[in-house]
């Protein structure tokens, strides 16, 4: 499901084990699933956590550790085994490989060597699975100003993505003070982003799923904190680790950012594969789009990831034209979402997403098509509710 490698480590020596953990935390696409200080317990740890890679330090007891390699080869054949040792004796390396190790790395470990070895293992997993391992796509939704429908877009796009069984989708509400994604989904979450961040060191994939709220559409939700004061207690480092864990579990992470563009928002935008900048066709919104794009290019260096989405297109006849809007902002508009006031009022008041409330409405089809355009339909099939023909009301990718 994901290109993130889940790692389990065994090393009776605290110093070298801690050094390895530090290296792993600095690598992309890696999650430390479990650690162990006893060889005799590690096979059970691997059986319970089912990591992709087991890293075994040999130096504390060569015979025991190599016996463990042989045991894991039989009991957990899908787990790739990487061994490390301060000795580079050819006989030891040969014994390790004959026992079933795929990689041998000398101690002290270097980040570059470890990363390269893990990349080789990832490629081998891809080949053995018959195709590329599917990665996680992070989509950040942000607004040119308040009230443009950022949360509405985030929730309904996430539900459209979750409608395909090939996808596993989580929505992260990063508007830590005033977020209301839970209201749009009519849910009362038991845990929030603050709870997950506070306990990130003790969480594994199973506990993470239990901490999320699952909607009937299949979408998972990680909402904003309940208490306002808790919003200030979440650090960028904690958010980074939360995202790392979410990436190991889901094909799509949708982030509904705040309008403050604080450090957490900027980190989310930096991590995102696509940034959907939501605007309306009026002068204040378009002026802010220009300001934001200048900052994204000159300060943050991620303007190339931005896709401008026009929400509530056709809201009123006084709207600025698409051609004039594109001239104003100096770039193409990626998508238009049609205005449907009646349906959206029902959606908000009932706490039911469009895909459930009005599956055949033009605005729902627009979200389905947007999800497909962002790579959310891996098999290239249309959603069950997709129209057979696209009329102007469907508002596919924006044209002048």
User: What is the C-alpha separation between 278 and 148, in angstroms, rounded?
Assistant: 7
**What integer is the mean pLDDT of 335-342?**
94
- pLDDT beyond 90 at 275: yes
Taking alpha carbons only, the member of 65, 86, 74 closest to residue 19 is 86
User: What is the C-alpha separation between 267 and 250, in angstroms, rounded?
Assistant: 19
Contact 75, 47 (CB under 8 A): yes
User: What is the C-alpha separation between 398 and 400, in angstroms, rounded?
Assistant: 7
Least confident of 225-229, 239-243, 263-267, 368-372: 239-243
For residue 372, the model assigns a pLDDT of 95
Sheet containing 220-222: give its strands across. Answer: 213-214, 220-222, 169-173, 252-256, 137-143, 274-279, 306-313, 335-338
Least confident of 57-71, 330-344, 376-390: 376-390
Domain ranges of the chain: 5-128, 137-394
- pLDDT beyond 50 at 388: no
User: What is the C-alpha separation between 109 and 120, in angstroms, rounded?
Assistant: 16
Most trustworthy range by pLDDT among 109-123, 201-215, 283-297, 369-383: 283-297
82: left (phi over 0), alpha (psi -120 to 50) or beta: beta
- Which two tokens mark 32? 């430390």
3-state secondary structure the chain: CCCCEEEEEECCCHHHHHHHHHHHHCCCCEEEEEEECCHHHHHHHHHHHCCCEEEEECCCCHHHHHHHHHHHHHHCCCCEEEEEECCCCHHHHHHHHHHCCCEEEECCCCHHHHHHHHHHHHHHHHHHCCCCCCCCEEEEEEECCCCCCHHHHHHHHHHHHHCCCCCCEEEEECCCCCCCHHHHCCCCCCCCHHHHHHCHHHCCHHHHHHHCEECCCCCEEECCCCCHHHHCCCCHHHHHHHHHHHHHHCCEEEEECCCCCCHHHHHHHHHCCEEEEEECCCHHHHHHHHHHHHHHHHHHCCHHHEEEEEEEECCCCCCCCHHHHHHHHCCCCCEEEECCHHHHHHHHHHCCCHHHHCCCCHHHHHHHHHHHHCCCCCCCCCCCCCCCCCCHHHCCCCCC
Contact 184, 351 (CB under 8 A): yes
Domain 137-394, what fold?
Answer: Rossmann fold (3.40.50)
Residues with Cβ < 8 Å from 251, sequence gap 6 or more?
A: 1, 2, 134, 135, 136, 137, 166, 167, 168, 169
Least confident of 16-30, 78-92, 231-245: 16-30
Same fold, 5-128 and 137-394: yes
Least confident of 97-106, 132-141, 276-285: 132-141
For residue range 157-215, what is the model confidence (pLDDT) as tens digits?
Answer: 999 999 999 999 999 999 999 999 999 999 999 999 999 999 887 776 677 888 999 99
CATH of 5-128, one of 3.20.20.80, 3.30.465.10, 3.40.50.2300, 2.60.120.1440: 3.40.50.2300
**What integer is the mean pLDDT of 361-367?**
96
- pLDDT beyond 70 at 132: no
For residue range 177-186, what is the model confidence (pLDDT) as tens digits?
Answer: 999 999 999 9
User: Quick one: what percent of the chain has pLDDT higher than 70?
Assistant: 90
pTM equals 0.73
For residue 125, the model assigns a pLDDT of 76
For residue 395, the model assigns a pLDDT of 42
For residue 123, the model assigns a pLDDT of 81
- Higher-confidence residue of 26 and 294: namely 294
User: Quick one: what percent of the chain has pLDDT higher than 90?
Assistant: 70
């Amino acid at each position: 499901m994901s290109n993130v490698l889940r790692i389990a480590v065994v090393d009776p020596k605290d110093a070298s084990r801690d050094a390895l953990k530090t290296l792993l935390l600095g690598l992309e696409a890696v999650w430390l699933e479990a650690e162990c200080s006893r060889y005799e317990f590690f096979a059970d740890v691997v059986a319970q956590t089912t990591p992709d890679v087991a890293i075994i330090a040999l130096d504390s007891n060569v015979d025991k550790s190599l016996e463990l390699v042989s045991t894991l080869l039989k009991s957990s054949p899908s787990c790739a085994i990487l061994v490390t040792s301060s000795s580079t004796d050819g006989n030891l390396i040969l014994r390790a490989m004959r026992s079933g190790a795929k990689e041998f790395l000398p101690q002290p470990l270097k980040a570059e060597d470890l990363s390269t070895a893990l990349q080789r293992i990832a490629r081998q997993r891809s080949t053995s699975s018959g195709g590329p391992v599917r990665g996680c796509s992070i989509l950040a939704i942000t607004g040119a100003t308040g009230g443009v429908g950022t949360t509405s877009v985030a929730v309904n796009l996430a539900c459209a993505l979750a409608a395909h069984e090939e996808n596993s989708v989580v929505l992260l509400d990063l508007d830590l003070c005033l977020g209301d994604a839970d209201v749009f989904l009519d849910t009362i979450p038991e845990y929030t982003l603050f709870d997950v961040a506070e306990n990130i060191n003790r969480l594994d994939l199973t506990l993470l799923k239990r901490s999320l709220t699952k909607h009937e559409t299949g979408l998972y939700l990680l909402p904003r904190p309940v208490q306002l004061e808790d919003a200030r207690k979440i650090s960028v480092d904690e958010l980074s680790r939360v995202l790392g864990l979410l990436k190991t579990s889901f094909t799509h992470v949708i982030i509904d950012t705040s309008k403050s563009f604080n450090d957490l928002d900027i980190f989310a935008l930096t991590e995102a594969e696509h940034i959907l900048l939501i605007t309306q066709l009026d002068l204040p919104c378009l002026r802010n789009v220009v300001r934001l794009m200048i900052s994204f290019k000159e300060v943050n260096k991620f303007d190339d990831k931005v896709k401008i989405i026009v929400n509530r297109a056709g809201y009123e006849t006084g709207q600025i034209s698409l051609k004039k809007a594109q001239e104003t902002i100096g770039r193409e508009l990626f998508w238009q979402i049609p205005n449907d006031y009646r349906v959206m009022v029902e959606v908000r008041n009932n706490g039911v997403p469009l895909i459930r409330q009005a599956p055949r409405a033009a605005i729902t089809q627009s979200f389905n098509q947007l999800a497909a355009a962002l790579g959310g339909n891996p098999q290239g099939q249309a959603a069950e509710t997709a129209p057979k023909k696209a009329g102007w009301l469907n508002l596919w990718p924006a044209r002048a």
